[in-house]
Copies of this chain bind each other. A is one copy, B any other.
Amino acid sequence: MSVPSADSAPLRFRRWEQRTEVPLFGASLLFLLGYAVRVLAPEDAEPWRDLALALVGATWLVFAADYAVRIRLSGLGHRFVRVHWLDTVVLLLPLLRPLRLIRVYTAVQKRRERPRLSLYARVISYAGATALLLGFSAALAVYHQERGAPDATIRTFGDALWWASATLTTVGYGDAVPVTAGGRVVATGLMACGLGLLGAVTGSFSSWLLQVFTREDEKRPPEGG
A123 smallest CB distance to B (angstroms): 6
Q: A202 touches which one: B2, B118, B169, B205 (CB < 8 A)?
A: B205
Number of identical monomers bound together in the oligomeric complex = 4
> Which chain A residues numbered 146 to 182 have a C-beta less than 8 Å away from chain B?
153, 158, 162, 165-167, 169-175, 177, 179, 181
> Which chain A residues numbered 172 to 221 have a C-beta less than 8 Å away from chain B?
172-175, 177, 179, 181, 184, 187-188, 191-192, 194-213, 215-216
A187 to B169, CA, bound (A): 11
Q: Is A1 an interface residue (CB 8 A)?
A: yes
A205 smallest CB distance to B (angstroms): 4
Contacts of A213 in B (CB 8 A): 119-120, 207, 211
Cβ proximity bits A102-118 to B, threshold 8 Å, 1 near / 0 not: 00000000000000001
Can you report 6 A-B residue pairs in the complex whose CB atoms are below 8 A from each other? A119-B212, A171-B191, A203-B203, A203-B204, A203-B206, A203-B209
10 shortest interchain CB distances as A-B pairs: A203-B206, A171-B172, A173-B174, A203-B205, A207-B210, A174-B174, A199-B205, A199-B202, A169-B191, A199-B201
20 extra A-B contacts, CB within 8 A, seeds A153-B175, A166-B172: A1-B121, A1-B124, A119-B213, A119-B216, A158-B184, A162-B184, A167-B171, A169-B170, A169-B191, A169-B195, A170-B172, A170-B195, A174-B175, A198-B202, A199-B201, A200-B209, A202-B206, A204-B205, A211-B213, A211-B225
